[in-house]
A and B are shown apart, each in its own frame.
Chain A
Amino acid sequence: MSQIELRTAPHVHAPRSVETIMFNVVLALLPLCFFSVWQYGLSSAVLILAVTATCLGVERVFSSQSGKGNTLGDWSATITGILLALTLPPNFPLWMGVVAGFAAMALGKAIFGGLGYNPFNPALVGRAFVQSAFPSTIASFIPAFAPQRFAEFSPSTLTMPLMIPTDNTAWIKAAGIDAFTGATPLARWKFENFTYTAHDFLSGAVTASAGETSAILILLCGAYLAVRRFMDWRIPVAVLGSAALVAWAFQLYNPAHFPSPLFVLLSGGLMLGAVFMATDMATSPVTPLGIWIYGALIGVLTIMIRYFGGLTEGVMYAILISNAASPLIEKFTQPRTYGARSKL
């Protein structure tokens, strides 16, 4: 005799969990890591490993302390670690990377209650902490494709804990690069009004943080996530679109001073931020209209900080501010319940 099984909806659901999504984000981040290692060599590789290991360790300690057991399996700490390392200069001292990883996980995530409860992107909290703690170190870079990059570390990488980073000048000179300014494209635009061409950016031959140089690679990895619907494509589109639009308007106003929208999109951490950080599910709105407002806010704030602020790069603070605004955005963009009267 056959039996009839009665169940409540939903009857069909996708076998998709937090772990699946997070694991795929890690997969999408791996090409960026490899590209960074290819560009900067050993220093970048150990930095990524050290920061990620710190994040995993801190997550492990806090999750078992709060009685949640082992939460490393959800991969979120791994993502935070890799992302954080990719936003730091490749020659960042390892001990400072450990500090950044600790700040990211403890200050950005654990004290709020762990995954899903954090109001701010943990990786950016970590970066913001070390940016305000070590402002000069985080603004010093090594050139990409130095010939000895696979043979030896940059001297500052191996600085003793708590000590001032070792000077990199001799190492850079040994790389055979005579005129290395150490300034990022954004800094050179801001202080020297010098703009790079798109070719410089696409080949990765600019001074930058470990993982923000290759726009094409970032877009490809983002596209993979978007196609498999592990990421909301509207957020990066809104961020990049609004940034390009505002930059275009400024350039129309004064072409001699303001750079082209293409320069704005390719320079600094805008691509990395738009694709991998603004899209953090815990810290972005879920309402359809709210997503567009949130993305646009990040784009506009980034341009405003870059053009008129004291810092050369504004993506980090733009995303953190928009994270803070996202509950408010959600509140104001609640969709109307079917059949209910519009409040306005």
Chain B
Amino acid sequence: MSTLISNFDEFMDGLWKQNPIFVMMLGMCPTLAVTVSAVNSISMGLATTFVLTASCLLISILRHIIPKEVRIASFIVIIATFVTVVDYSIQAISLELYDALGAYIKLIVANCILLGRAEAHAARMPPVPATLNAFGMGLGFTLGLLAIGGVREIFGAGKLFGIALFGPHFQPWVVMVLPPGGFFVLAGWLILFSGIRANKQRKIEAELALKGAKA
């Protein structure tokens, strides 16, 4: 039972408490570059999730075999293998999407989340928690990208998932599909989330103070 709970915690870690984008601030390069629309964001997020989960599973299985001295190189080889798989798959499924995401699919290999998770988590944990944690992180990353990409698409094109929201006379906000828009939206979400966290912290402290006063 307790392993079930801890496994669930591993999975939830990446979704909220240690969200790669909003808390750890990793993988900022694709975050700012490909989040022009919701579809692009989801595809990028799912591609990263696949690579992250598969490579963390493999690394976790091989963690006793890989020599410590060459572990980084070995991790990169494993990650690069899965990135190549994703790269060719997306190219085969949708050339349009492949062109939209551009070099950023190949650049998944350089995404800090992948090496960070491999080094900090998968290389030290048994396969089940490692995979669950990686999957949670990947989904958290996807949600983060979607949160940014959704807002940018609504303002930048008046659409969400390609469906027009405001009719044909919508005036697009050009700045939102330009790089500054990515920074603005990311900063907006960060302000919101850190505000929520600060509020929670204040409540906990107030409760502790109350208990202290009673005692």
Tell me which residues across on chain A come within 8 A of B169, comparing CB atoms. 160, 163-164
In whole angstroms, how far apart are the Cα atoms of A111 and B184 in the complex?
12
On whether A133 and B170 interact (CB within 8 A), knowing A107-B184, A111-B191, A162-B158, the answer reads no
| Contact present for A162 and B171 (CB under 8 Å) | yes
Chain B residue total in the interface (Cβ 8 A): 14
Which residues of A are found within 8 Å of B166, using beta-carbon distances? 162-163
Docked complex: B171-188 residues within 8 A CB-CB of A: 171, 173-176, 178, 180, 184
Query: Nearest chain B CB to A111's CB is how many angstroms away?
Result: 7
What is the distance, in angstroms, from B50's C-beta to the closest C-beta of chain A? 35
A134 touches B174 (CB 8 A): yes
Q: How far is the CA of A165 from the CA of B169 in the complex (A)?
A: 9
Residues from chain B with a CB closer than 8 A to the CB of A164 are 169-171
A267 to B174, CA, bound (A): 27
- Also in contact, A135 and B174, with CB within 8 A (given A107-B184, A111-B191, A162-B158): yes
Among A70-120, those with CB < 8 Å from B are 107, 111
Give B63 Cβ to nearest chain A Cβ, in Å.
44
Q: Which residues of A contact B174 (CB under 8 A)?
A: 132-135
Identity of the chain A residue whose Cβ is nearest the Cβ of B165 in the assembled complex: A162
Residues of A within 8 A of B173 (CB): 133-134
- Is A137 close to B, CB under 8 A? yes
Q: In the assembled complex, how far is the CB of residue A106 from the closest CB belonging to chain B, in whole angstroms?
A: 10
A111 to B192, CA, bound (A): 12
* A163 contacts B184, C-beta separation under 8 Å: no
Q: Tell me if A129 counts as interface (CB < 8 A to partner B).
A: yes
- Asked if B170 and A132 sit within 8 Å, CB to CB, the answer is no
Interface contact A132-B171, CB-CB below 8 Å: no
Question: Which of A133, A134, A137, A163 has its CB near the most chain B CB atoms (within 10 A)?
Answer: A133
Cα separation A165 to B180 with both chains bound (whole Å):
24
Q: Which of A162-195 contact B (CB under 8 A)?
A: 162-165
Tell me whether B184 and A137 are in contact (CB under 8 A). Answer: no
B167, B169, B170, B171, most chain A CB atoms within 10 A: B171
- Determine the residue in chain B with the shortest Cβ distance to A159: B171
> By the criterion CB–CB under 8 Å, are B175 and A137 in contact?
no
Residues in chain B near residue A107, CB distance under 8 A: 184
Report A118 CB to chain B, min CB distance, Å.
16
A111 to B170, CA, bound (A): 29
Does B158 lie within 8 Å of A133, measured CB to CB?
no
Q: A107-B184, A132-B178, A132-B180 are in contact. Are A163 and B171 (CB under 8 A)?
A: yes
Q: How far is the CA of A163 from the CA of B167 in the complex (A)?
A: 9
The answer to whether B171 and A137 have CB atoms under 8 Å apart is: yes
Query: A129 — which chain B residues lie within 8 A by C-beta?
Result: 175
| Complex CA distance for A111 and B174, rounded to whole angstroms | 23
A17 CB, min distance to chain B CBs, angstroms: 32
Which are the 9 A-B pairs with shortest beta-carbon distances?
A: A133-B175, A132-B175, A133-B173, A164-B171, A163-B169, A164-B169, A162-B166, A133-B174, A163-B171
User: Could you list 17 further interchain pairs (A-B, Cβ under 8 angstroms) beyond the known A133-B175, A134-B173, A163-B167?
Assistant: A107-B184, A111-B191, A129-B175, A133-B173, A133-B174, A134-B174, A135-B174, A137-B171, A162-B158, A162-B166, A162-B170, A163-B166, A163-B171, A164-B169, A164-B170, A164-B171, A165-B171
Give 8 pairs: A residue, B residue, CB < 8 Å, sorted on A.
Answer: A107-B184, A111-B191, A132-B175, A132-B178, A132-B180, A162-B166, A163-B169, A163-B171
